[in-house]
Homo-oligomer: A and B are copies of this chain.
Amino acid sequence: MATIKDVAKLAEVSTATVSRVLNENGYVHEETKNRVAKAIKQLNYKPNDVARSLFKGRSKMIALFIPDIMNPFFPELARAVEDMTKNHDFTFILCNTDDDIEKETAYIDALQQKSVDGLIIVSSTLTPEQLHHIQIPVVALDRKLNNGIASVTVNNREGSRQAVQYLKSLGCKKIAHVAGPEHVDNANERRRGYLDEVQNEDWFRLSLVEHGEYHYDAAKQATINLLKRHPDIDGLFVGNDLMAVGALKAAESLGINVPSDLSMIAFDGITLGETTSPSLTTMAQPIYQIGAKAAEMLIKQIEEEDTLTQSEEFSVQLIKRESTRRDEA
């Protein structure tokens, strides 16, 4: 690996001059600039980013924390963040945390030791105390973080209301809910949205809610419980698409036809939802946009050292597919 010294020697200038043409700052004579450029090309010189980072205290790296790389929602999100970071010449680091606070803390330390410039975090477990240890810009994504930390989320509660309303508009008379984990704020918001719409119905019982942990297996089991307990359920709002795949399987295993016996609507709008049979009606998040927005906000914080804590909330959108009865419209 050629160093800046080699280039300087070959071009017969000082390393400072090479640095100047590299970074396009300071004055440098056109002619010498050419000489340096030629030397760089000739040696195929690439600046050492580590040395640069050491000096600057910054690394041009950004990390994204996700709780579960196996839930397709997060790869889609990661994709968006990665694209955006690349556009701004940052290197992207993906960290899978399993929502495990120890893994999160370990990552936070390791990354800060590497002078990573900023963090985009999807987490429900990080405590204010842990967050206090973070000395670099942070943006919360998908789930809010307690403190005054910038965040990008969607209108989970309102979106869920709309989901249930749609089920009602289809004529559903008894609507159940498979909820996400209780420690995840967006899961609670979605549950609350469901409750907003149903708690005053005379058919409503608390036993119409089961928790499915945002996992396929748990959701399948939860749905089976629900459908056995209340065989007359004709509408189901599932907390996310991944769980809905399990719910679909559950209904099938009980001989319940979706959508003719049971209309099902979910949340997220991941690609997977188009591929199931029946395909999933869902409240779609603008996944790519929220990921991109979070990256943008973070980069702005990094580059402008502008710590104003803005928060963005996007809207979800109903996508009608095959898991719900046709509406009359």
Contact A1 B135, beta carbon cutoff 8 Å: yes
**Contacting residue for A50 out of B59, B75, B78, CB 8 A:** B59
Q: Nearest CB to that of A74 among chain B residues? A: B75
Known: A47-B113, A275-B246. A96 touches B82 (CB 8 A): yes
Q: Nearest CB to that of A75 among chain B residues? A: B69
A312 at the interface (CB under 8 A from B): no
In the complex the two chains form, what is the Cα distance from A271 to B215 in whole Å?
12
Residue numbers in B under 8 Å from A94 (CB-CB): 78, 92-94
A155 at the interface (CB under 8 A from B): no
Count residues of A near B (Cβ-Cβ below 8 Å).
Answer: 44
Spot the interface stretch: A25-33, A104-112, A198-206. A104-112
Residue numbers in B under 8 Å from A82 (CB-CB): 69, 96
Residue numbers in B under 8 Å from A59 (CB-CB): 50, 114
In the complex the two chains form, what is the Cα distance from A115 to B246 in whole Å?
44
Interface residues in A80-118 (C-beta closer than 8 Å to B):
82, 91-96, 109-115
**Contacting residue for A113 out of B48, B54, B109, CB 8 A:** B48
Residue numbers in B under 8 Å from A61 (CB-CB): 114
Residue numbers in B under 8 Å from A50 (CB-CB): 50, 53-54, 59, 113-115
Residue numbers in B under 8 Å from A48 (CB-CB): 54, 113, 115
Give the oligomeric copy count. Answer: 2
A46 at the interface (CB under 8 A from B): yes
A261 at the interface (CB under 8 A from B): no
Residue numbers in B under 8 Å from A109 (CB-CB): 46
In the complex the two chains form, what is the Cα distance from A135 to B2 in whole Å?
13
Contact A70 B271, beta carbon cutoff 8 Å: yes
Shortest beta-carbon distance, A94 to chain B, in Å? 4
In the complex the two chains form, what is the Cα distance from A323 to B76 in whole Å?
28
Shortest beta-carbon distance, A52 to chain B, in Å? 9
A305 at the interface (CB under 8 A from B): no
Shortest beta-carbon distance, A328 to chain B, in Å? 25
A-B contact pairs, 6 of them (CB 8 A): A50-B50, A69-B79, A78-B94, A92-B93, A216-B275, A249-B275
Query: Interface on A for B, CB 8 Å cutoff?
Result: 1, 46-51, 53-54, 59, 61, 69-70, 72, 75-76, 78-79, 82, 91-96, 109-115, 135, 216, 245-246, 248-249, 252, 271-272, 275-277
